[in-house]
Amino acid sequence: MNINIRKGEKVDCVRMMELVRELALYEKAPNEVTVDLDHFIESGFGPNPVWWAYVAEITNEDNSKHIVGFALYYIRYSTWKGQRMYLEDIIVTESMRGNGIGKKLFDQLILVCKEQQFKGITWQVLEWNEPAINFYKKFDGVQFDGEWVNCSL
């Protein structure tokens, strides 16, 4: 299987949103997705982008291409550490898991962090999401901290 990791473009947004919905279903919160496609595109590709993404694309036998996963991040500012990458989503569609696609996406993010001199990557995982936690444990030096509570208003 030919898997290519490349920067996400405007035309990928519709498919990315499909994958977001797939993940929300898995995380038992399908109704929580209220973002609108135009606003999603504007936030990533308008004059002041606030998110960036990499997509994993496979090439089929007839040479057509299909996006099967992506990683989306923004820059967070920590008053303790400085600029860090915040990994908002890393998604591989269910039927394509177990092919090392998630690892390829994650490796790409690590590369971006080094290039942009970010002080690391942070993200969150649901405490019951064991497959994801086991995936993250494969990377040297990942730290887990369950002492914080998320708040929102």
The residues that are catalytic are 136
Q: Minimum distance between the CB of residue 4 and a copy of itself, rounded to whole angstroms?
A: 22
Q: Which of 3, 15, 41, 83 binds a copy of itself (CB under 8 A)?
A: 83
Which has the closest alpha carbon to 66: 58, 78, 75? 58
Q: Which segment (4-12, 56-64, 85-93, 94-102) binds a copy of itself by CB under 8 A?
A: 85-93
Q: Which of 32, 61, 62, 115 binds a copy of itself (CB under 8 A)?
A: 32
Q: Which of 6, 125, 130, 138 binds a copy of itself (CB under 8 A)?
A: 125
Instruction: Choose between 60 and 82: whose C-beta lies nearer to a copy of itself.
Output: 82
Is residue 148 part of the contact set for a copy of itself (CB under 8 A)? yes
Cβ-Cβ contacts under 8 Å for 124 (sequence gap 6 or more): 150
State phi, psi for 36 to the nearest 5 degrees: -110, 145
Number of Cβ atoms within 10 Å of the Cβ of 36: 9
| Strands 65-78 vs 52-59: parallel, antiparallel or unpaired | antiparallel
